[in-house]
Structure 1
C-alpha cells in the first residue's frame, strides 16, 4: 500500500510530441520567463496610469506552440491585436477578451468600467483609446525583452475571431506567454504570442561554442548583465530626530539642492553622474549631463 501511495503521488509524465519537436531549453525558458515577468509588472503599471484604477498583470506561463495550437487554445470570439514585425512574415499577437477591453475603455472615459453588453466590435473611439493602451504595451514589451526583440512592432489590425485571424502559417512556432489581468474589479486572461523566429536567434547565438574564458571572466561577464536600480536623487540633508518625529502635513523641509543643479544619478547610494529631468515619449527620463570621476 505505501508503495502504491508513493506511486500515485509521483510527478505526472509528459508525453513528448514528435510532431512538434521545437521546445525551449531550460535556460532559454528561464530568460523568457524573467522577461515576461518584467513585462507583466510594466504593463500593470501602465494600465493603472491609463485607466486610473489599480491594475495588476501576472505572468503565468511561457511555452512554444504552433500557431494552430495557439489559435485553438483561444475562445472563438476574442480580441486579437496583430502587429507586423519588419521582415518576419508572421505577426505578433496581443490577445484579451473584448469585454475586458471595453471595461478598460469605460474607465478611461470616466465610467465604472462595468460592461453589460455582449462582446462586440470596437467603435472608432474605443479602438483609438485601445490603441494608446497597445502603444504602451508594445513599448513595455521592447523594454522587457531588450535585445531579444530586435524587430519593430507596428499595428496591423484588430481581429475578433481567433479562427479567422491568420497571424502566421499553421505550423509556425510561436512563443506564447499567458497572463492574468486584474483591472479594478475585472479579471481576465490574456496572451502575448511572438513568432519564435523573432526571438530564438537572439537567445543563444553562441550556445554551440565552447567558452575559453576563465571563471573570473565569466563571473564578470555575467555581473555586467545583472539588473540594478538606478535612482535620480536630490542632495540629502541632515536633520535631527526631533524634526522627523514632529513632522506634520504642511511642514516645509529646506533642501540643500540648488534649484538649477541637475539631479544625482545613484546606484546603491553611490553617485555616478548628474542628469537633467526630461521626457522620453510618455515617460519621465533623465538626460546625463556629467559623469562622476572616481
Structure 2
C-alpha cells in the first residue's frame, strides 16, 4: 500500500531591511546580555525583599526589534510600565502579566500570593504598590547597566492594553530583553524594552577603523611592542663537515674572534651593536659598547 505524504513547505524567509538593520552585533549582544543578567539578579533580590517570597529572575534573551514587532508579541491585556527617559521621545517599557503583579501585592499585604483568575487593572492601592516596586526595579536597572544607560529614567505611567500604549513610534528600534520571573510557586514572563538610541551610542562601533593618514606612525608604534630574539655571538668559524662529525668531548675548536673585540649583539640574526660580557646579579649580562651605523 502506498502512503501519501503531504508536500513539505519551504520555510518563509523574513524580510530584512538593509537600510535599517534590526540585528545586534555579536559584541554588542554579549555586553547587553551580561548587563541584563546582572539586572535579573538585582531584580530577584529586590522582589524577595519587598514581596517577602523567595524570587528568582533569569534573563532568557536579548534582541533588537521595532516597537511594532515588540508590541505585537505582547498579550492584549498586560501590565506595561512606561518609563520616561530625559530628552528622549520614545519611552522604555517594563511589561509583565497583571495576574503576576497582583500575586506580588497579595503577598506584600500578608496573603499567600495566590494569583487571581484573570487579567484586570489595578486598584489605587495596588497601583501604588506596583509603582513602588517598579521605582526600585529602575534603580536596579541603572546600577546594572552602568555606563550603558547615561539618560535618567523614571516611571511615567502604567497601561494595560499593549495595542494602545504608544510608548514609541512603530518603526522605532528597541532593545528587548525577556525574563522568566519565579516568585514563590508562580512563574511568569516579563520583558524590558529600551530605545536603541539610548544604549547603542555607549556600545561603540562594532568594527572601528583608523585613518590611513597616520599609517606609518601606527605601524612604528605597533612594531615597537613586538618581542624579538636578542643574542650575543662570536665571529663564526668555518669548518668542514668532517670536523663537525668528528667532534668529541674534550676537543678544542678555535674561534677566529679577537680577544680585544666586543661580542656581536644580534637581533633576528642581524648585528646591531657591540657588547662586552658582564653580569647582573647571578645572571650573565652584556654591556653595550658601540652601535651599528
TM-score w.r.t. the length of structure 1 is 0.66
Q: 1:134 maps to which residue?
A: 134
Q: 2:81 maps to which residue?
A: 81
CA distance, structure 2, for counterparts of residue 25 and residue 14 of structure 1: 20
Deviation, 1:22, is 2.7
Q: 2:100 maps to which residue?
A: 100
Deviation, 1:138, is 0.2
DSSP-derived class of the 1:89 partner? coil
Q: 1:59 maps to which residue?
A: 59
Q: 1:182 maps to which residue?
A: 182
Deviation, 1:117, is 4.2
Count of matched residue pairs: 206
DSSP-derived class of the 2:152 partner? coil
Alignment of 1:1-294 (within 5 A): 15=14, 17-18=16-17, 21-204=21-204, 208-210=208-210
CA distance, structure 1, for counterparts of residue 155 and residue 51 of structure 2: 21
Deviation, 1:210, is 3.8
CA distance, structure 1, for counterparts of residue 33 and residue 196 of structure 2: 15
Deviation, 1:159, is 0.4
Deviation, 1:84, is 0.7
1:24/1:129 Cα in 2 relative to 1: closer, same or farther (>3 Å)? Answer: same
CA distance, structure 2, for counterparts of residue 16 and residue 36 of structure 1: 28
User: For residues 86-117 of structure 1, what are the alpha-carbon distances to aligned partners after superposition, in whole Å with 9 as ceiling and x for unaligned?
Assistant: 11100000000000000000010010111234
Structure 1, unaligned stretches of length 5 or more?
1-11, 218-294
User: For residues 194-247 of structure 1, what are the alpha-carbon distances to aligned partners after superposition, in whole Å with 9 as ceiling and x for unaligned?
Assistant: 0000000010159524496869x9xxxxxxxxxxxxxxxxxxxxxxxxxxxxxx
Deviation, 1:150, is 0.7
Runs of 4+ in 1 over 4 A off after TM superposition: 12-16, 211-215
CA distance, structure 2, for counterparts of residue 116 and residue 105 of structure 1: 11
Deviation, 1:123, is 0.9
Deviation, 1:120, is 1.2
State the superposition RMSD in angstroms.
2.4
Q: 2:246 maps to which residue?
A: none
TM-score w.r.t. the length of structure 2 is 0.66
